[in-house]
Each structure stands twice: as C-alpha cells, then as structure tokens.
Amino acid sequence: MQLIKRPRRLRINEVIRTMVREHHLMVTDLIYPMFVTYGESSKTEIPSMPGIYQYSLDTFLLALKEVVALKIPAVLLFGIPETKDEMGSGAYDEQGIVQQAVRLAKKHYPNLYVITDVCLCEYTSHGHCGLVEDGTILNDATVDLLAKTAISQAQAGADMVAPSDMMDGRVGAIRETLDLIGFCHIPIMSYAAKYASGFYGPFREAAGSTPQFGDRRSYQMDPANTDEALREVALDVEEGADIIIVKPAMAYGDLIYRTKQRFGLPVAAYNVSGEYAMVKAAAAQGWIDEERIVLETLIGMKRAGADLLITYHALDVARWLGRED
C-alpha cells in the first residue's frame, strides 16, 4: 500500500513515543490535600477515601515527612475543629487547628509550600460555607469572616490562601485585607468555578461538613452552566486571583480548557473526593488498573489545560513517577 502519511511511524517504540510526547505529568504539578484535627497520636482513615486520613498534629508532621521525601511541592490544608458554632469561629481563631498545623509545618519544613482552604463549612454547626440567617446564607457578613480567616492563616505562615466558599466578592475582600496588613506577596488561589456537585460526598464525611439543612446550590454553581463559570472566573481575576481552580475536574474538562484559553492564568484542577473514591472502589474490586487509570485521568486534566493538580492520589503518583523501571 502506498501511504505517504503513516502516523504509526512515531509510535513504533518507546524511545520515539517518549520523544514526541506532548504532555507530561510531573511531581511538581501536585498539590496534596490533607485533613488536620485535634487529638494526639491519631490517624483516622476516612472510610470512603482509603489511604486518606484525619491527622492529629503529631501524626500530621510524620505524614509531612513522607510528602517532602516524595518531593511533592505543596499541601492544601483543611481543618476539623474540636467544636463547631454558628459563626464558624474555629476558622479564624489564631489557635485554630489549621493555624497550628501551618505553624508546625512551616517550622519543620520551611520549603514545603503550604496552602490553606479558606471556608467556614468545616467550622459551622450548620455545615454551610457562610453565616446563616433565617435559613439563608448571608453573603457580605460571610465575606468579612473569610477575609479574617485568610489573614489568620497568612499570619500563621501560610504561603497561599484558597477561598472555596463561592460568596460574591470574597477574592477582592481577601486581597484588600491581606494587602492592608502587609501580606501583598501572598497569592490567592481561588475556587472560581466551583460546582454544586455530588462528587464532594466523601469530603464532607472527612470534614464533617454536610449541611444540616438544604444544600449549597445558592452559592455553588449549577453543573449545567459554563458561561456562568467563565463570568465567575472573570470576576475573580478582576478581584486579584492569581490561580484559578476548576472543581470538580473529571466531568469539567471543558471548563479547564476554556478557562486556560480565555484567561491564560495558571489553572488548578481539583480532582475531588468522589472522583478519588470511585477509582479506589473499582481498583479494590480488581475491576480497573489503579495506576493506569489515575495517571490517565490526571494527564487528561493537563491536556485540557491544567497546570496544577490538586489530588488525593498525590503520594501514589509521586511514587509511580519516581519509580525507575
């Protein structure tokens, strides 16, 4: 057969396949989400997220040793407070669990990049991401507390803050407040395009943050919308966001792509808890090859345009990438 174009020529062996590979997954892409809580010597596995734990501060520090040894550059911290209240006061308490964890992490591992999730839902008794009055979520009063939260985290030593609440105007308010007190060098990674998703189920078990009434649809976005997401991203960019998160990731590749194309900022794909749980469950059954599926999923996010990958698979991925075979 006379064929001028034969694409298979460039697939003939691993050497040429590697040479023409377009996208690469690297350990420097990874951000590892971790849960810290009160207690001592405790490490409680989250039932729907095998391999992911709620750490007390001492076991958290031990876990960081492994994160650093694997050369994962960054962690994203979530806190589970001892007690919750209507105002979510544990979120902006100087002695709050995340603030303590940040201080500890930075003291022992100054080069580990520590990012903090800025939200109230892990700290409120009702489980919503904002203040509640007569069953509705108050936007502006919540924004004040989020700014307060971000400041207390930056003061504890956080390298970057990541607001995940989806209140209007919070990125601008956080930027302004951080700048006012001399933290103009702290970047904001904004959960700009965050959907009201069924994929957060296991996280809410991990953080004990399931809303006690209603749902999050009055602040997180409708999964049917993309133009709206681009408007959300545009607002956060105007307000000073440095990095944009698209969340969840697997079913939202179009948005990763469009955000990257339109704004050209660094984009982080959040490979969320439910995505992790599905892969873990199927792998435990022997139905899929976990390593292949995870690496394929993450490269898909990079192909779509993600620069950074927030993923619970980070430790495994770092091990797989670092393995010499």
> Using the rule CB under 6 A, which residue among 29, 93, 117, 239 binds ligand PBG?
117
Query: Is residue 252 part of the contact set for ligand PBG (CB under 6 A)?
Result: no
Q: Select from 253, 242, 239, 229 the least CA-distant residue to 302.
A: 253
> Using the rule CB under 6 A, which residue among 121, 137, 171, 249 binds ligand PBG?
121
Residue 317: CB minimum distance to ligand PBG, A: 16
The answer to whether residues 273 and 206 touch, using CB atoms and an 8 Å cutoff, is yes
Query: Is residue 272 part of the contact set for ligand PBG (CB under 6 A)?
Result: yes
User: Helix (H, G, I), strand (E, B), or coil: what is residue 36?
Assistant: strand
Instruction: Tell me the C-alpha distance between 200 and 194, whole Å.
Output: 11
| Catalytic site includes residue 43 | no
Smaller CB separation from ligand PBG, 99 or 197: 197
Residue 85: CB minimum distance to ligand PBG, A: 17
Smaller CB separation from ligand PBG, 151 or 245: 245
> Using the rule CB under 6 A, which residue among 30, 98, 119, 151 binds ligand PBG?
119
Query: Is residue 146 part of the contact set for ligand PBG (CB under 6 A)?
Result: no
Residue 250: CB minimum distance to ligand PBG, A: 12
Measure CA of the first residue to CA of the last residue in the chain; give whole Å.
38
Which whole-number Å values give the CA distances from 322 to 50, 189, 283, 319, in the listed order?
22, 27, 21, 5
Smaller CB separation from ligand PBG, 6 or 114: 114
Q: Select from 200, 252, 202 the least CA-distant residue to 223.
A: 252
Q: Segment contacting ligand PBG (CB under 6 A): 114-122, 130-138, 280-288, 316-324?
A: 114-122
The answer to whether residues 271 and 292 touch, using CB atoms and an 8 Å cutoff, is no
Q: From the candidates 71, 84, 106, 247, which is the catalytic residue?
A: 247
Query: Is residue 164 part of the contact set for ligand PBG (CB under 6 A)?
Result: yes
Identify residues 186-205 at the interface with ligand PBG (CB under 6 A): 200, 203-204
Query: Is residue 273 part of the contact set for ligand PBG (CB under 6 A)?
Result: yes
| Catalytic site includes residue 302 | no
How many residues make contact with ligand PBG (CB under 6 A)? Answer: 11
Residue 274: CB minimum distance to ligand PBG, A: 6
Query: Is residue 46 part of the contact set for ligand PBG (CB under 6 A)?
Result: no
Instruction: Tell me the C-alpha distance between 105 and 77, whole Å.
Output: 10
Buried b (16+ CB within 10 A) or exposed e, 60-69: bbebbeebbe
The answer to whether residues 161 and 186 touch, using CB atoms and an 8 Å cutoff, is yes
- Residue reference for tokens 């992911």: 52
Instruction: Tell me the C-alpha distance between 271 and 302, whole Å.
Output: 12
Instruction: Tell me the C-alpha distance between 234 and 323, whole Å.
Output: 40
Smaller CB separation from ligand PBG, 121 or 173: 121
Q: From the candidates 43, 65, 148, 194, which is the catalytic residue?
A: 194
> Cα torsion for 106, 110, 112, 118, to the nearest 10°?
30
Active site (catalytic) residues: 194, 247
Per CB under 6 A, residues contacting ligand PBG are 117, 119, 121, 129, 164-165, 200, 203-204, 272-273
